[in-house]
């Protein structure tokens, strides 16, 4: 792996606070880390630790007060709003805790909303099969279970074959079994398509399946560990 690939994503001196004056609250207090290309990286921490804020900043939908972020050599801070939109369009896929599907589009069409953004999207039918949604492709979101909806949302993010897949508590609203299924899916996607995955979670168990674990507390990095003995998602227990 080249130096460039090792430092595919590099963050240094990242700071962010909300409010001002007495109500000012520092959320990120100077973060430095790198993520390698194709890595499965888990941002772990209790609620309020700043992990979602960090993810949003990495996703270009929130801005930092200080610090630098480089993604594949591009400096995020230099981009204007249009540039950021282009960046998200070209490089990022987003998965949220709430699936945020378009209610009056069916499964396939919802995935197409992602495919439309890429000049070279994945084959949708094949993806549907990988997602286990091929039989449901003509259904509307409200005809699906929560887990199925989250699969659609992952499909929508992954179909454009993004460099980075950002997942914000993707299993937060799901039960144990479904959560595991979703994690397996993300793992599969990561392995098959080689996207860099950055996943925010407060579930300690999930760190076992990651290549790289960054633990946050009070806006600081407490641990930055490379996990050499990964457990398959299917074998996770919590």
* Token pair for 69: 């972020």
Paired strand residues for 94: 166
User: How do 164-168 and 92-95 pair as beta strands?
Assistant: parallel
Q: Other C-beta atoms within 10 Å of 25: how many?
A: 11
Evaluate the CA torsion angle 159, 184, 34, 29 in order and state its sign.
Answer: positive
Considering only 30, 48, 146, 172, the residue that binds other proteins (CB under 8 A) is 146
Find the part of the chain contacting other proteins (CB under 8 A) among 21-29, 174-182, 186-194, 203-211: 186-194
Q: Applying CB under 8 A, does 8 fall inside the site for other proteins? A: no
CB of 179 to other proteins, least distance (A): 16
> Does the footprint of other proteins cover residue 56 (CB under 8 A)?
yes
Q: Is 1 in the site for other proteins (CB under 8 A)?
A: no
Residue 196, interface with other proteins (CB under 8 A)?
Answer: no
Contact present, 138 and 170 (Cβ < 8 Å): no
According to the 3-state scheme, what is the secondary structure of 42-108? EEECCCCCCHHHHHHHHCCCCCCCEEEEEECCEEHHHCCHHHHHHHHHHHEEEECCCCCCCCCCCHH
Query: Does residue 232 interact with other proteins by CB under 8 A?
Result: no
50 interacts with other proteins by CB under 8 A: no
CB of residue 110 to other proteins, shortest distance in Å: 8
- Residue 4 or 222: the one with the smaller Cβ distance to other proteins is 4
Give the interface with other proteins as residue ranges (CB under 8 A).
56, 59, 61-62, 82, 85-90, 92-94, 96, 98-105, 109-110, 112-126, 141-142, 146, 149, 153, 156-157, 160-161, 173, 192-194
């Amino acid at each position: 792996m080249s130096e460039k690939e090792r430092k595919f994503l590099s963050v240094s001196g990242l700071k962010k606070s909300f409010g001002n004056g007495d109500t000012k609250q520092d959320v990120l207090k100077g973060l430095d880390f790198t993520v390698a290309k194709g890595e499965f990286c888990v941002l772990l921490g209790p609620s309020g630790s700043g992990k979602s804020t960090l993810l949003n900043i990495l996703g270009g939908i929130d801005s930092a007060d200080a610090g630098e972020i480089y993604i594949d050599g591009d400096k995020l801070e230099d981009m204007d709003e249009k540039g950021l939109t282009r960046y998200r369009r070209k490089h990022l896929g987003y998965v949220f805790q709430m699936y945020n599907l378009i209610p009056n589009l069916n499964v396939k069409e919802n995935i197409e909303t992602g495919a439309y953004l890429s000049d070279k999207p994945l084959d949708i039918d094949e993806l549907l099969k990988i997602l286990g949604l091929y039989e449901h492709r003509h259904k509307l979101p409200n005809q699906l279970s929560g887990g199925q909806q989250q699969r659609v949302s992952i499909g929508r993010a992954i179909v454009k074959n993004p460099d980075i897949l950002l997942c914000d508590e993707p299993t937060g609203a799901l039960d144990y079994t479904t959560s595991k299924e979703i994690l397996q899916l993300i793992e599969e996607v990561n392995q098959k398509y080689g996207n860099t995955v950055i996943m925010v979670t407060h579930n300690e168990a999930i760190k076992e399946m990651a290549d790289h674990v960054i633990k946050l507390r009070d806006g600081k990095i407490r641990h930055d560990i490379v996990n050499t003995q990964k457990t398959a998602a299917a074998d996770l227990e919590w």
